[in-house]
């Protein structure tokens, strides 16, 4: 018999949005442990791991409960999980100074990019450079080790090291991305029984990566996922853009101004364009391209429903559930540029006179450069890939914009580079 432990070190590469199901401070508060620090529950970690296998494979590794069979035969038709998965937590000496918990806004948009009434919500996200640590335990004989670990679980871990894992909500919109390192510790019985009795895997998970022994790493073999294509886009902002945080959470600026909104920023205090904003903008622009291509009436409505479901996982039908998006967008950090505070007056559209109490101030970000990564399931339809290509080309000529106030020139970009699966296609996308 053998005991095998897999130690996971998970490091955030984008904000984590893992809600606790409650809304004391926001509409969706973060899940935290007894120290009030964010963590990933073992159930969430096991769920993400399980989703990487077929139904038969997942039942073998993670067990199953057949409720109908249990009721029909009046017996316990349950298969116990072969893998015991712990929660992923920050180190014991971590404290609140190691994390930044911020509040972000979400809003529903119509087909014209306008806010939907009463569709605004807010939620907490966490950013930290401190890694999370977890341990997975397996028990079995050598035959089971080959079937369950060598042939199934370790190849999955290999792929996870290559492309990372994602946790929480909106993972297809850039949230919850994690880089992963994996190490392995084995015990054979009865030869190593005494050593195992003195071993404490839950404690070891925090120090295992500091005390490195030869041969314990699970290395990345750099295998590619044949069904995923990756588009990397480098872009520059032509002028200002506005991904806003509302006034209830803003502070007085150095010049003494108190704006009604400021740009959304990350833990490094750099402005960001979240994946949710990219996804909404791309989706609505693809709708626009369809309209302008001459598709009308019922044909247009049916094509929009198909596009939303097949590419973005969104269903407008009550009996049809949402699915995982096949087009996934990263979060973009903007470097360079500078903030600019602008004061506006609301004007009566009939008299052109300034409205009473119509003065408002907002801060926009002007200039800067960023990168956007789009992960595409290459099994989507060829015409949808062409639509996506047109949207990327429109980015470069100012027909596609991001953020608020697009009607007054905000959010326009120019393309710097376009790579598809690491091959440079810049010349094909930038129109002369």
pLDDT in tens, 328-368: 999 999 999 998 887 777 677 677 676 666 677 778 899 99
Q: Which residues pair with 183 in a beta bridge?
A: 7, 217
Is the domain of 236 the same as that of 199?
no
Is the domain of 180 the same as that of 302?
no
Based on C-alpha coordinates, what's the Rg of the chain?
A: 25
The string of pLDDT tens digits covering residues 274-294 is: 998 899 899 999 999 999 988
Using the 3D structure, point to which of 174, 207, 240 is the last residue of a domain: 207
Q: Give the orientation angle of helix 382-396 with respect to helix 275-292, to 10 degrees.
A: 100
Between residues 238 and 172, which one has the greater pLDDT?
238
- What is the structure's pLDDT at 413? 93
- Tell me, yes or no, whether 20 lies in a domain: yes
List C-alpha distances in Å: 184 to 157, 214, 282, 327, 351.
11, 11, 42, 34, 74
- What is the structure's pLDDT at 39? 94
- Tell me, yes or no, whether 265 lies in a domain: yes
Range in 65-79, 240-254, 401-415 with the lowest mean pLDDT:
240-254
- Backbone φ/ψ region at 100: left (φ over 0), alpha (ψ -120 to 50), beta: beta
DSSP per-residue string spanning 46-58: HHHHHTTS-HHHH
Is the domain of 147 the same as that of 249?
no
List C-alpha distances in Å: 277 to 273, 368, 386.
7, 18, 21
E strand or H helix at 361, and its extent? strand 354-366
Report DSSP state, residue 150: I
DSSP per-residue string spanning 271-297: BEE-HHHHHHHHHHHHHHHHHHTT--H
34 lies in which domain range? Answer: 2-207
Using the 3D structure, point to which of 207, 241, 275 is the last residue of a domain: 207
- Tell me, yes or no, whether 218 lies in a domain: no
Is the domain of 107 the same as that of 8?
yes
List C-alpha distances in Å: 321 to 252, 276, 309.
44, 19, 9
Is the domain of 40 the same as that of 186?
yes
- Tell me, yes or no, whether 221 lies in a domain: no
Is the domain of 167 the same as that of 290?
no
- Nearest one of 41, 69, 64 to 53, comparing CA atoms: 64
Give the model's confidence band at 313: pLDDT under 50 very low, under 70 low, under 90 confident, else very high. confident
Total domains present in the chain: 2
Q: What are phi and psi of 286, to 5 degrees?
A: -65, -40
- Tell me, yes or no, whether 350 lies in a domain: yes
Is the domain of 183 the same as that of 302?
no
Is the domain of 8 the same as that of 122?
yes
Is the domain of 334 the same as that of 250?
yes
The string of pLDDT tens digits covering residues 11-51 is: 998 899 988 777 677 777 888 998 999 999 999 999 999 98
- Tell me, yes or no, whether 217 lies in a domain: no
Between residues 87 and 405, which one has the greater pLDDT?
87
Is the domain of 330 the same as that of 378?
yes
Report DSSP state, residue 179: E
The string of pLDDT tens digits covering residues 151-174 is: 999 999 988 888 888 998 888 888
Asked whether the beta carbons of 18 and 30 are under 8 A apart, the reply is yes
- What is the structure's pLDDT at 107? 63
**For the ranges 213-217, 261-265, 268-272, the one whose mean pLDDT is highest:** 268-272
Q: Taking the CA of residue 173 as centre, how many other CA atoms within 13 Å lie in the half-sphere pointing to its CB?
A: 19
Between residues 339 and 113, which one has the greater pLDDT?
339
Is the domain of 235 the same as that of 152?
no
Give the model's confidence band at 208: pLDDT under 50 very low, under 70 low, under 90 confident, else very high. confident
Given a cut of 70, whether residue 105 has pLDDT beyond it is yes
**For the ranges 87-96, 317-326, 353-362, the one whose mean pLDDT is highest:** 87-96
- What is the structure's pLDDT at 267? 79
Asked whether the beta carbons of 38 and 99 are under 8 A apart, the reply is yes
Which pair of structure tokens corresponds to residue 172?
């297809």
Spatial separation of the C-alpha atoms in residues 344 and 127, rounded to whole Å: 33
Burial readout 351-364 (b: 16 or more C-beta within 10 A, e: otherwise): eeeeeeeeeebbbb
Q: What are phi and psi of 384, to 5 degrees?
A: -75, -35
The string of pLDDT tens digits covering residues 174-186 is: 888 899 999 999 9
Mean pLDDT score across all residues of the chain: 84
- What is the structure's pLDDT at 115? 57
Given a cut of 90, whether residue 234 has pLDDT beyond it is yes
List C-alpha distances in Å: 415 to 93, 234, 370, 372.
44, 6, 10, 11
List C-alpha distances in Å: 202 to 136, 190, 354.
10, 22, 65
Given a cut of 70, whether residue 322 has pLDDT beyond it is no
Given a cut of 60, whether residue 250 has pLDDT beyond it is no
Q: Give the orientation angle of helix 275-292 with respect to helix 297-312, to 10 degrees.
A: 150
Given a cut of 70, whether residue 83 has pLDDT beyond it is yes
- What is the structure's pLDDT at 207? 85
Give the model's confidence band at 432: pLDDT under 50 very low, under 70 low, under 90 confident, else very high. low
Q: Taking the CA of residue 287 as centre, how many other CA atoms within 13 Å lie in the half-sphere pointing to its CB?
A: 19
- Tell me, yes or no, whether 368 lies in a domain: yes
List C-alpha distances in Å: 101 to 137, 139, 257, 269, 372.
31, 38, 25, 13, 23
Q: Is the pTM of this model over 0.85?
A: no
Given a cut of 60, whether residue 122 has pLDDT beyond it is yes
- Tell me, yes or no, whether 356 lies in a domain: yes
Q: What are phi and psi of 64, to 5 degrees?
A: -165, 150
Residue with tokens 């007054």: 408
Spatial separation of the C-alpha atoms in residues 38 and 99, rounded to whole Å: 8
Is the domain of 30 the same as that of 89?
yes
Residue with tokens 């999370």: 132
């Amino acid at each position: 018999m053998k005991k095998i432990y897999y130690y996971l070190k998970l490091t955030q590469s984008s904000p984590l949005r893992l809600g606790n199901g409650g809304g004391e401070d926001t509409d969706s508060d973060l899940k935290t442990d007894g120290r009030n620090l964010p963590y990933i529950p073992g159930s969430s970690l096991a769920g993400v791991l399980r989703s990487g296998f077929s139904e038969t494979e997942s039942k073998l590794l993670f067990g199953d409960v057949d409720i109908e069979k249990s009721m029909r035969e009046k017996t316990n038709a349950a298969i116990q999980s072969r893998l015991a998965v712990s929660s992923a937590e920050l180190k014991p000496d971590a404290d609140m100074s190691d994390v930044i918990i911020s509040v972000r806004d979400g809003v529903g948009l119509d087909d014209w990019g306008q806010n939907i009434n009463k569709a605004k919500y807010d939620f907490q996200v966490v950013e930290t450079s401190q890694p999370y640590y977890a341990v997975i335990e397996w028990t079995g004989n050598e035959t089971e080790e080959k079937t369950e670990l060598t042939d199934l679980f370790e190849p999955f871990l290999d792929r996870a090291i290559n492309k990372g894992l994602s946790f929480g909500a909106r993972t297809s919109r850039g949230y919850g991305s994690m880089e992963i390192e994996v190490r392995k510790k084995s015990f054979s019985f009865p030869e190593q029984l005494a050593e195992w009795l003195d071993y404490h895997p839950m404690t070891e998970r925090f120090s295992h990566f500091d005390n490195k022994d030869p041969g314990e790493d699970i290395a990345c073999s750099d295998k590619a996922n044949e069904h995923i294509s990756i588009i990397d886009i480098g872009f520059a902002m032509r002028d200002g853009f506005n991904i806003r945080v509302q006034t209830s959470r803003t502070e007085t600026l150095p010049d003494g101004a108190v704006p009604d909104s400021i740009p959304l920023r990350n833990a490094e205090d750099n402005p960001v364009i979240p994946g949710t904003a990219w996804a909404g903008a791309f989706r609505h622009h693809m709708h626009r391209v369809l309209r302008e291509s001459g598709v009308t009436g019922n044909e247009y409505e049916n094509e929009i429903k198909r596009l939303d479901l097949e590419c973005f996982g969104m269903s407008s039908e009550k009996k049809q559930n949402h699915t995982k998006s096949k087009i996934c967008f990263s979060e973009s950090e903007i470097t360079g540029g500078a903030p600019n505070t602008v004061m506006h007056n609301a004007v009566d559209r009939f008299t052109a006179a300034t409205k009473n109490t119509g003065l408002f101030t907002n801060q926009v970000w002007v200039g800067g450069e960023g990168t956007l990564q789009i992960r595409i399931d290459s099994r989507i339809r060829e015409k949808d890939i062409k639509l996506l290509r047109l949207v990327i080309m429109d980015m470069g000529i100012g027909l596609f914009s991001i953020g608020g106030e697009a009607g007054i020139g905000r959010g326009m970009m120019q393309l710097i580079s376009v790579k598809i699966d690491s091959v440079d296609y810049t010349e094909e996308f930038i129109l002369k």
